[in-house]
Structure 1
């Protein structure tokens, strides 16, 4: 087996993420597939590159040596691709292509629809990623023009130097999703203490998410059971009453699930549009804001929250 750049990229991703699960999410592959790939690489080299521990993966001495040689090669290939894309962009007519990225959001569909209507003839490509940091790195490298990301309160994103940012919403509250039969579902606003006995489900691959939830629960003196998994799985467990989970306030409404604000809004994120230096993002931002208004209009509980907090986003709702 000959090592290729994709193998080296996988090794770097595992080292950076600290676990096979998170590295697989960043690479867009399944964890079993990445585990098999790592095993083949180690078999080809005749030794382990990572020690599998309860808390994740750590490079062995040989692994550190391989990584020290692999990173310059991976970085060089990324630079080569970025330069080629930049040159190709220069050769295209101005404004003929727009590459947008976003973390998961109910706003994406409306944003994309509005952009296609506002920018006819523009080739618009969309990339959705669980990791805001990965999207920011792609903007920095020239693989994306803009990225719509969320920054968990208390866990600031390291926005690469030189990138420009616009704040869509300085503080978006995170609501809580719970089963229709949950005792707290009958309240318009849920108290954290009413969820002390419920398992909480959190996706640890979402940048800052687990740290934010852990910080808020700890500050409230709560130590509920915590399940780690993606939010598609979370939704199915919430409906069955097996867990509660944080969710975006633009989620819902749903017939099979209750979505409620938390008293005092202890969980929150900041919404940002990040772009390459000098990029003209006026239309992109305007349509994002309009799409967000649309999404908020559909959720009466969130519309009311925006009005109570005198948010500019509530004016046209």
Structure 2
């Protein structure tokens, strides 16, 4: 029979082994927090805000592009900066697969902000994933939308998730598949409609909205005709011609998008599906009548999206260059 002293020694050895193997096999996790960089880079928010404002001043469309880039990062594999990685000869990235190829933009802006942040911090302290999250919020605010606090502490993925792109909602999809894709990520129908309100800003290419303006009936005829002038029916003709997602406020954040849905003056099939006799019609009407409700719900949904499966603690890395993983 073991003595109390021997039992204590055996327990101590067992405890050390458990701690050792737990530490070796499980990454240390941490929670995101608004003040994550308070001591390591207190100027990060000011630096990102200034750089984002400058980018939008140079090109008004850039604000919408950064918001969309954040969505496309988070919805694939959590907000891990995976969308920012360039292709390599051995690992194809997320940039060159639909719906990012020829469409996602703003990468060079994030690269510029990263350089400025690293200079301000005295080193590579802030992740590319966090920079993208802050820049998306600052874009919303700069375009006239609601402000909200961004929890920080994300780390960057060491590899893209090209296969995960299939989980992104498509501009051609009907309401059912859209609801399913958002539900799979933990979002309610209300949150899906709120996040879709980001389409109050931004533009789309003719190749994306051509079928809607020629073949769909749930669109205002005069509006469709006005778009056809610069987007001919023939594929390959003026494919890159841009038109606002929301004709009333292409560079100003607000609830006009929901009014456009009710008036059937939107260019994306997936957008009009939110107001087409289905279960989300009442939500669209509510946001159309109550801009404050939309602003609150949108801000909350953006924070929730930013908290989707982040890498924290010792997971991933802090990339020195947002386009490529760090050299070991």
Q: TM-score with structure 2 length normalisation? A: 0.26
Greater RCO, 1 or 2 (C-alpha within 8 Å, sep 6+): 2
Q: Which has the larger radius of gyration?
A: 2
Structure holding more strand per residue: 1
TM-score scaled to structure 1, two decimals?
A: 0.26
Higher helix share: 2
